[in-house]
Structure 1
């Protein structure tokens, strides 16, 4: 017969082994930055925006499944805005034709220190001269005063669960580089 003391000792040992498996791995005392330089961060942000534009150009407003590519490149405020806008355009029966082109990219700021959340801010010049949007009756929904190219200040973030930067926010601004 097993004594209660031995049983408690075995149970205690089992609990200690189980808890040891739950102990977090030691943290790196000297974490490496996600980007080696601002230039590398800007290049990653530009690549992200190019992929976002590619996904945007593949949207078919009659097929909400095509929206997923756009959502995959956005997070936060930008993702919420895209979901609202694309869903409303779909519900209203609008169509879009033509392609958006990223005409230029200007990196403004990047955090590359390992202790900081990786972020990049840039001005993107977006050429929409070939984009047409019509409602269900075929009437153009593009304002007569829409510029062919406009400036956006875009904020990119790097999330733990994604290997690439994501677009977190995008705001139309005035910038002579995009005139």
Structure 2
């Protein structure tokens, strides 16, 4: 009969010891920030989305004539080169873009401490191509929605820049 009491006592002592050790243990450590300053993938994608939304807002504002709008400051690498080439071609042809581009959705793709990639669905419904006289020459076959794969790159703890943007589909 003593065995069951000894077993219960042993279990109680073990449970109390485990409880007291866990109560005295230091709290779990906070995640360490990565070289970009992000402590988690969620934080990295939140910053990537914020940066891309800021870029689209600045590009829309620049098209609206806002003097201090600077979408260029949010671009780097391939994205900066391609955007400059596109804007030069548009200006040389006497055309211009008019109307806002709207982000419909953003979906995370992959992340490293230095980069984040996401899929962005852009609504182009209100954006028009105008000729030098202001006439709408938007191709009637142009899709109103585009799916882009957008890569953002860390800028030495100063935030992110859009470094690449590739059209993946004319539907999203």
Contact kept in structure 2, 1:67 and 1:86, CA below 8 Å: no
User: What does 1:3-18 correspond to in 2, within 5 Å?
Assistant: none
1:147 maps to which of 138, 143, 148: 143
Secondary structure of the residue aligned to 2:136 is coil
The alignment partner of 1:140 has SS state of: coil
Contact 2:61 2:69 in 1 (8 A): no
1:138 CA drift (Å): 3.4
Moved beyond 3 Å, runs of 4+: 65-68, 137-141
Question: 3-state SS of the aligned residue for 2:119?
Answer: strand
- Measured on the aligned residues, the alpha-carbon RMSD in Å equals 2.4
1:146: how far off? Answer: 1.3
Q: Deviations over 1:34-86 (max 9, x none)?
A: 2111111110010001100011102249x7x9697121110001000111111
Query: Match for residue 153 of structure 2?
Result: 157
Indicate the residue corresponding to 2:102 in structure 1.
101
> 2:41 aligned with 1:45, yes or no?
no
Unaligned 5+ segments in structure 1 are 1-30, 113-117
Which residue of 2 is the match for residue 168 of structure 1? 163
Alignment length (residue pairs): 139
CA distance in 2, matches of 1:87, 1:59: 15
Rounded to whole Å, the distance in 2 between the matches of 1:147 and 1:67 is 31
Q: Which of the two has higher C-alpha Rg?
A: 2
- For 2:87 and 2:68, the matched residues in 1 are separated by 7
User: Are residue 124 (structure 1) and residue 117 (structure 2) matched?
Assistant: no
State how far apart, in whole Å, the 2-side matches of 1:91 and 1:174 are: 27
Contact 1:154 1:169 survives alignment (8 Å): yes
Cα distance per residue 1:108-155 (max 9 Å; x no partner): 11113xxxxx10000001111000111113343422221111100001
- 8 Å Cα contact 1:121/1:156 also seen in 2: yes
Per the normalisation by structure 1, the TM-score is 0.69
